[in-house]
Amino acid sequence: MEARTQLPHCLLPDPLTSQDDGDELISELKPVFQPRLYGSPGCETWSVCFSPDGTRFAWSAGYGLVRVLPWPLPSKLHAAESKTGEKMLDCGDTVWGMAFGPCVSNRAKSVKGQELLLATGLTNGMIKVWVVTTGKLLFGLTGHKSVVRDLVFVPNGSLTLVSASRDKTLRVWDLAKKAPPSRVLTGPNYWVFKCSVSPDSSLIASVCKLDTKVYLWSLRSFTFVRNLKYDQERSMVSCDFSADGALLAVGSYRAATGWWLDLWDPYTADHLIKVEDCDLCVCRNDNLLTALAFSPVFPHLAFKDYRALQIWDMEQDKLVLVSDRNRVSGLCCAFHPQGNAIATGCRDGHVKFWRVPRQVPSLRHLCRTTLRYSVSTFQVQALPLPKKILDFLTYRDIPKIKILRCSEHYS
């Protein structure tokens, strides 16, 4: 299946006149297709992602279509496909999850030359893998019995793909083989909603929508490791590893009380930090979380709730970005690999790009990230260092409970 020749291009952004968002909004992609009646599915942007080198952006534009655009976005998106490098992929079914793979060479039997791959997870349980430069379908992966909700490539540069599905399983695929077999990880009793792979490619974390625990799996032995358990029922939203792998962020909510961001130590299963929504806001119980993501560069944790897109700087312990206010329909978010921009996808099919405040990472942060990338918590705790330094290296110097006050109530 090849890219369409006649592309239903998106509309260019209108002049940025919003006083609320100011200069934070970089650009916006608006779908040509009008949303259906409220509650009728089809146009939602369930997934957005940047390529590992930051030169491509993929957008599940609704109605089974995926647009792949060069980044930064070209000034003339209405130009011919051959001039802008844009590709439109017709997946034939609703796209829920997407992931860019590494640039691969002929060491993969199924790939010729140096190519960038994009995997798409569909409602019918199929995973379609595309060659980005040509827009051609490379192959389809079958095995899941229901919606493929999330996809992630293992970050070690191999062609290993992890998929999470509503059939209550995760699968690990080896795309270097022409007919890639999968390892099936079973255990959850509910839909597997999101998954994340640690930066050292050793662990898989996954959450289920209605299961009040996190599942950790070994990517080396393909076995279950442990659960991270909660003492209260809640709806699980997402999970993501920090850039050094020393933290696992988990987003959840209860309709009666609002959302939580919990930071766990994936090595020791210690619950380190509980971050709560602003306790002074009247609408707290109606403010539910929809997505979260760690910055690949800075000590930033981004999350999208019903009220806004917010970015918390863990080192400075403050919100450095509060944008996209009153955008109730936000569904997903993804950082650019350089950490200087973040994209959000919405239920009505829009995609917005936000400028992340520039900063120079502190030497403290760089040292901790470099060390923790390859050293586990147990190994750090065994070092003959003062307790204050050990607490810093293991993220135990942050208060156990943190309330993120909104801009209106921040003092």
Render pLDDT for 25-68 as a digit per residue (tens, 0 to 9).
999 998 766 666 555 567 889 999 999 999 999 999 888 999 99
- In Å, what is the CA distance from 303 to each residue of 150, 247, 292, 382? 17, 16, 4, 34
- Torsion of the alpha carbons at 239, 51, 331 and 322, rounded to the nearest 10: 90
Residues 6+ apart with CB under 8 A from 387: none
First to last CA, the chain: 56
- What is the per-residue pLDDT for 328? 58
Confidence class of residue 345 from pLDDT cuts 50, 70 and 90?
very high
Give residue 405's pLDDT: 64
- Summarize the confidence of residues 377-401 as an average pLDDT: 95
Place of tokens 């909700």: 149
Q: Give strand ranges (E) for 175-247.
A: 182-185, 192-197, 203-208, 213-218, 224-229, 235-241
pLDDT tens for residues 3-31?
433 333 444 443 333 334 556 899 999 87
**Mean pLDDT lowest for which of 148-152, 317-321, 364-368, 385-389?**
317-321
Average confidence (pLDDT) over 356-378: 93
Give dist(CA 45, CA 184) in Å, integer: 28
**pLDDT the model gives residue 104:** 64
- Residues composing the chain: 411
- Res. 133: pLDDT tops 50: yes
Which pLDDT score, from 0 to 100, does residue 42 have? 76
pLDDT above 70 covers what percent of the chain?
82
Indicate if the pLDDT at residue 84 is higher than 70: no
Q: Which whole number is the average pLDDT over 217-232?
A: 94
pLDDT at 3: 40
Interval 385-407 mean pLDDT: 88
**pLDDT of res. 388:** 96
In the chain the domains, ranked by start, together with CATH numbers, are 25-75+82-104+113-404 (2.130.10.10)
More confident residue, 205 or 33: 205
d(CA 277, CA 283): 10
Whether 276 shows a pLDDT value over 50: the answer reads yes
Question: pLDDT band at residue 77, thresholds of 50, 70 and 90?
Answer: low
Q: Which of 78-92, 176-190, 213-227 has the highest mean pLDDT?
A: 213-227
- Percent over 90 (pLDDT), the chain: 63
Tokens for 329, please give them.
């329909």
Per-residue model confidence as pLDDT tens digits over 144-175: 999 999 999 999 988 999 999 999 999 999 99
pLDDT in tens, 238-267: 999 999 999 999 999 987 788 999 999 999
- Check whether 231 has a pLDDT greater than 90: no
